[in-house]
Every structure is written in C-alpha cells, then in structure tokens.
Amino acid sequence: MSVRVMTGNDAAATAVKLARTQVIAAYPITPQSPVVESLSTWVESGELPAEFVAVESEHSALSVCIGASTVGARAFTATSANGLAYMTEQVWWAAGARLPIVMCVANRAMAAPWSVLNDQQDSMSVRDAGWVQLYCRDNQEILDTTVQAFHIAEELNVPVMVCYDGFLLSHTMMPVDVPDAGTVDGFLPPRTAPLQIVDTADPRNVGPVTLADPRPDADGVLQPGYMEFRAMHHAALLEALDAVPAADRAWAGITGRSSGGLLSEYLLDDADTVLVAAGSLVTQLTLVADELRAEGVRAGVLGIRCYRPFPVGALRDRLAGRSLAVVFDKALSYGYQGPICEDLKAALYDGADSPAVHGVVCGLGGRDVTPVQLASAVREARADLEAGIRDRAPYWIGLVEGSMR
C-alpha cells in the first residue's frame, strides 16, 4: 500500500489501471472527464497496455464497450448526467446482453436547465435498467469499489455502475491507500471466457430478435423466450445481494478495508432515529448524528452502498424496532417523492416493527447542504412523528419558495 492524495476521479482511474482493463472508451463530459484523461495518458505512455478508443458520443462509448466485452475483453467507460442519458439505449443493451462492463458515473444534475453541479438524478434515472449500482462515500471507497465492481460484474455477468458525487468527490483531494498491482491481481484474476459465444467456426447472432414464448432450437432443445431472459437477468441481479458483500469481505481480507458491503453504519446499534442516504451525504450525516446525540437523541446513520439490487432484507433487519427513518434524497421521482425514500417505504410497508419513514429532498442542482440544515430536517421529522404523523410529503431543504414564478 502507498498513501497518495488524489481526487475522486484519480481514484477511479487508478482502480481501472490496477484492474488491468483492456479496452477504455471515452467521451468527455464534466465532471467525469479527468477519469478518462488520466487513463489516456497511461495508455499513451505504455504504463497501461490497453486500447483507448476516443469516440464522438457517449452512445458510441458504451457501444465500444459492448463490442469489447462481448468478445471477452475487460471494458470500462465513464460518464455523467446528459451523457448517461444519451447512452441510455446502450445502458439497457449492455445489461440485457449480460455484459460485465464497469462504468463510473460522476453524479451530476440533469438538464434542462443546465447545471454542471451535483445531484444523483442521472444514475437514479436508469436504476431499473438492470445494472448493479454502487454508491461511494469518499475517494477511498471510489478506488476500492471500482476494483470490486470488476470482480462482481465478471462473477455474475452483469454490468456494474460505480456512482460518486460530482465535484464533492470527483474533484476533491483526499488521502487514498493505493494497493500494489500484485494485491489487486490476487483479488481480480484475468477475465474468463465470456458468456456470449463468438466463434468464426460456430457463427451465431448476439442479442437477436427474441419471440415472446420459448421455442425449440434446431436441435429440439427448448430455448428461452423474452420473458425467461428477463427472469434470468433478474435472478442474476439478485445474486449481487450476496456477491457485493462477499467481494467487500474478500477485499477487506487483503487490504484491511471494508466499505460495509450492502450498507454502511454509524452509531446504529442503539439508534432510535436513523438517517438514511447514499453517497457523500452519508459522511455529512455522521456529523448530524453526533450533534443530535449531544442533544440526547439516539441518532444513527445507515448508508445505502448497494442501491440496485435494493437490499430489502438487510434494510428490514437493520431498521427493525426503530421509531423513525429520515431518508435524504439528492434526486426526485417527479410527481411522487425521492427514489430512495419510496423504495424504503415499499421495503418496510408490511413490517410490524418497522419505523415511520419521512423523506427529505436536498442538494438538487448542487444546492449547498449543511449539517445544520440536515439536523433541522431531522428535528422537523421527529416533531411530526411526535404529533402522530407517520407519513407526509417530502420536506425540501433550502427551497426558496418566494423565487418560484
């Protein structure tokens, strides 16, 4: 190990290099551009023996990764915001084709109106596309999670999205323990044969038009219809509920560092009020928990590291017997509420000892969020619960209603 001070983007790029990635496709978009810029420098210098493909759009970037992954290469790209939206067709294709691609998303607000600053609306908008989604609290987690993502993707034959907050992490300098190449090689062996068959002696289509119902092939063997493919993909994604914590345990065994697996925890054991979020906001909430504890409130923090598949069982277990869960979303499911909040309510709805769940929307478009504001939102939620309100409309932090016309 060596400790280096680096940005979140540098941490992601370093992990991709350590993973001995073979094909990198790149199109620049703020705030992820430095990830692929660093990788291009290493490829040009020979430090990273890989193919670096500069393309004309994000759609093409993921298309290159799809082709490379189909024939067995370890493939990577990165994007943000409207770049992710532009590649959405291929986001679905990569997942449906069961390709173990890793993509870093430096979370940024969606346009219009334009903003280059952080929220999590971009990755949340494709949360149902069939990728594993992992969210990082700090730059160390970005490096560790990106290495683990290749392991998880190649074990399950599903793509993995590593999400981290733009600028708040992507451009912020932090000390990061960087493992040596041999350590990563021991954790992440070369990729085995791909799930897809690409053989000139046995030509076949990849991802062809599939009929609704199963049908026998030329040898009389019953083959899946479209619905069966979806069910197998769903089952593979659910396997990540075991694969993600297993990868984290294995990584901890060789580095001494754990990101928590599916969830991270802070002061949770005796907590009655639990603060829930994903990304760098989880770190801020630890300060809030400390402040509330000083006031006599038994507060703790539960961080969502694995958002897809949604860790229903783990959340039910860790929240059982609590009075209140306050969920902080940096995204919005328009016309409803924050996506993490709505998923948590669904996960807990039939639990006899489940807490009340109150949602908070914050930080959209890079709006500053301070521990003082976060603590105030928790106090509001506790006051509502004491007044008998177990469900309510989302509470918005920092919204200036007088400015809305």
Residue 160's pLDDT band (boundaries 50, 70, 90)?
very high
Pairing of strands 132-135, 160-165: parallel
Intrachain domains 2-187 and 263-403 with the same fold: yes
Tell me what pLDDT residue 104 has.
Answer: 98
Can you tell me the distance from the alpha carbon of 41 to that of 52, in angstroms, rounded to the nearest whole number?
10
Backbone angles phi, psi at 163, to 5 degrees: -110, 135
Can you tell me the distance from the alpha carbon of 351 to that of 147, in angstroms, rounded to the nearest whole number?
36
CATH number of 263-403: 3.40.50.920
Tell me what pLDDT residue 9 has.
Answer: 98
Residue 405 in this model has a pLDDT that exceeds 90: no
Tell me what pLDDT residue 230 has.
Answer: 96
**Residue range 234-254: average pLDDT?**
98
Tell me what pLDDT residue 391 has.
Answer: 84
What global pTM score does this model have?
0.97
Tell me what pLDDT residue 199 has.
Answer: 87
Q: Which tens digits make up the pLDDT trace of 12-58?
A: 999 999 999 999 999 999 999 999 999 999 999 999 999 999 999 99
Contact 125, 163 (CB under 8 A): no
Residue 1 in this model has a pLDDT that exceeds 80: no
Backbone angles phi, psi at 192, to 5 degrees: -85, -175
Domain ranges, ordered by start, for the chain: 2-187, 263-403
Residue 218's pLDDT band (boundaries 50, 70, 90)?
confident
Give the closest residue to 361 by CA, choosing from 349, 373, 372: 373
Tell me what pLDDT residue 88 has.
Answer: 97
Q: CB-based burial of residue 201 (10 Å sphere; 0-12 exposed, 13-18 middle, 19+ buried)?
A: exposed
Strand order in the sheet with 273-277: 263-266, 299-304, 273-277, 324-329, 356-361, 395-396
CATH number of 2-187: 3.40.50.970
**Residue range 390-400: average pLDDT?**
92
- 392: Cβ contacts below 8 Å, ≥ 6 apart: 358, 384
Residue 242 in this model has a pLDDT that exceeds 80: yes
Q: CB-based burial of residue 117 (10 Å sphere; 0-12 exposed, 13-18 middle, 19+ buried)?
A: buried
Q: Which of 102-116, 156-170, 203-217, 263-277 has the lowest mean pLDDT?
A: 203-217
Q: Which tens digits make up the pLDDT trace of 52-80?
A: 999 999 999 999 999 999 999 999 999 99
Please provide the DSSP assignment of 27-62 as one string: ---TTTHHHHHHHHHHHHHTSS-SEEEE-SSHHHHH
Tell me what pLDDT residue 203 has.
Answer: 86
